[in-house]
Structure 1
């Protein structure tokens, strides 16, 4: 795996460095919540860690193969809600990506299951759309700056 420890902020939106955030999960640590697993999976998509994404996917719904070379240019993750009850969990999120000169999003209410003390992504119903930020809204890139002063 390439060294990603120099990443200033983890792509998952935690405002921590990759080394202090999702890297431990990519190296084998167990995510303690469905939200932590979702964040690490998003970062896995950003960094194109196909093996990690497949390993964090429940065996009953896991794809047989993945190719992230054609995946969107993911930029930030917004957790809209999350929770767990016993061995099931859910995370409602919006993942933002660049598309040409604009922005797109994938929004999903994901389901997770815990087996043998480990959380796995089970399934979700993704919805995609075009994101049209206003000039005075936060920039979709996750910088924390206003759109008009960042990526416009």
Structure 2
């Protein structure tokens, strides 16, 4: 999901200004961060591929590169992940819409979604992706995704 691999710039939910806020979780469930993606960012395993995908979206919002790398399957994981804003190009995540969650078998699933993002002063963009996930040793991992209209 959102494959951007270069120099690492990690953060924690607390350093990103989240965790104790009663505001809604960026993943769009309507729950608070503390009752939604917060526990996953703190190390709790995802119940399914859908919750992992939502937590990864929130991790992009909060620039949690360590979490993203930890939940990326080792066979496709980049060595580093740079989520730092470039000068004059602040990334503003605008929302997530889940299109489908398909369980292929007990160890494999796919989630299709649209993420809206605005970078710098440019127009808002819609990124559509079908992400693949794999369960290993009781944990879900993001494997890869097809970006584009589906």
Query: Aligned equivalents of 1:72 and 1:111: distance in 2?
Result: 25
- 5+ residue gaps, structure 2, are 1-11
The 5 Å alignment of 1:2-151 reads: 2=14, 3-4=17-18, 5-6=20-21, 8-70=23-85, 72-84=91-103, 85-99=105-119, 100=121, 102-127=123-148
Query: Aligned equivalents of 1:86 and 1:36: distance in 2?
Result: 15
What is the CA-CA distance between 1:7 and the residue it aligns to?
5.1
Which piece of structure 1 moves more, 80-89 or 95-104? 95-104
What is the CA-CA distance between 1:86 and the residue it aligns to?
1.6
| Residues 34, 83 of structure 1: 8 Å contact kept | no
- Tell me the secondary structure at the aligned position of residue 102 of structure 1: coil
Which piece of structure 1 moves more, 68-77 or 27-36? 68-77
Aligned-pair RMSD on alpha carbons? 1.6
- Tell me the secondary structure at the aligned position of residue 76 of structure 2: coil
Question: Normalising by structure 1, what TM-score?
Answer: 0.79
| Residues 22, 39 of structure 1: 8 Å contact kept | yes
Which piece of structure 1 moves more, 76-85 or 98-107? 98-107
Query: Aligned equivalents of 1:64 and 1:101: distance in 2?
Result: 29
- 5+ residue gaps, structure 1, are 129-152
Higher RCO, 1 vs 2 (CA within 8 Å, ≥6 residues apart)? 2
Stretches (4+) displaced over 3 A: none
Query: Aligned equivalents of 1:64 and 1:115: distance in 2?
Result: 20
